[in-house]
């Protein structure tokens, strides 16, 4: 939280940054903090991948990320649908040795993101004729950036009549 900070006109979380927070509670806390610090007519933009249907059980994956004459990078991951997490490693192999780069995501569904926004935020309504507006919500407040990536635009709840 930012005690004593001025109100912000824009808060922007790009490229799944929200999902780097390790729990649903931490993610909801982020939304609540944004709501407290947003100016009266401020906007909160959130770019994230919205997952499809989760696997029925834990799913492991090993992928070749890149290969060159002097290095190989593998990507290993485990998706746990019960706690909505994906844990992974980028494994870089060179003549000098092996380098591990761990990563972790706790993903949220569209319904969960809507519930988090209820912490004092409202969906910023796009015009119905605006290109790219996704129709998966009753209030078209998100733009489909590509097949699975969305840009949510929210504002303070008191910004609407």
pLDDT of residue 138: 43
The helix/strand/coil state of 10 is strand
Record the tokens describing residue 7, joined without a space.
């109100």
**84: region left, alpha or beta (phi > 0 left; psi from -120 to 50 alpha):** left
147 phi/psi in degrees, rounded to 5: -55, -35
- Give the chain's residues under pLDDT 50: 133-141, 144-148, 157-161
Given the structure tokens 């004459």, which residue do they identify?
69
d(CA 28, CA 130): 29
pLDDT of residue 12: 86
**Torsion 48-54-55-57 (CA) sign:** positive
pLDDT of residue 135: 43
pLDDT of residue 21: 95
pLDDT of residue 125: 57
Strand 38-49 vs strand 8-13: parallel, antiparallel, or unpaired?
parallel
Q: Quote the DSSP letter at residue 150.
A: E
pLDDT of residue 1: 66
pLDDT of residue 70: 97
HSE-CB at 160 with a 13 A cutoff on CA atoms is 11
User: pTM value?
Assistant: 0.76
């Amino acid at each position: 939280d930012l005690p004593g900070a001025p109100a912000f006109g824009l808060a922007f979380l790009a490229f799944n940054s929200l999902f780097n927070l390790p729990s649903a509670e931490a993610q909801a806390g982020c939304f609540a903090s944004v709501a407290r610090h947003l100016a009266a007519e401020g906007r909160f933009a959130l770019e994230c991948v919205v997952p499809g249907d989760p696997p029925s059980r834990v799913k492991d994956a090993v992928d070749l990320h890149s290969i060159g004459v002097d290095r190989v990078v593998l990507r290993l991951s485990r998706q746990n649908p019960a706690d909505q997490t994906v844990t992974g490693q980028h494994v870089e192999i060179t003549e000098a040795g092996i380098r591990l780069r761990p990563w972790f995501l706790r993903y949220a569904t569209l319904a969960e993101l809507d519930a988090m926004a209820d912490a004092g935020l409202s969906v910023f309504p796009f015009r119905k004729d605006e290109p790219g507006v996704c129709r998966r919500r009753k209030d078209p407040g998100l733009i489909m950036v590509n097949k699975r990536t969305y840009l949510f635009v929210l504002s303070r709840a008191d910004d609407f009549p």
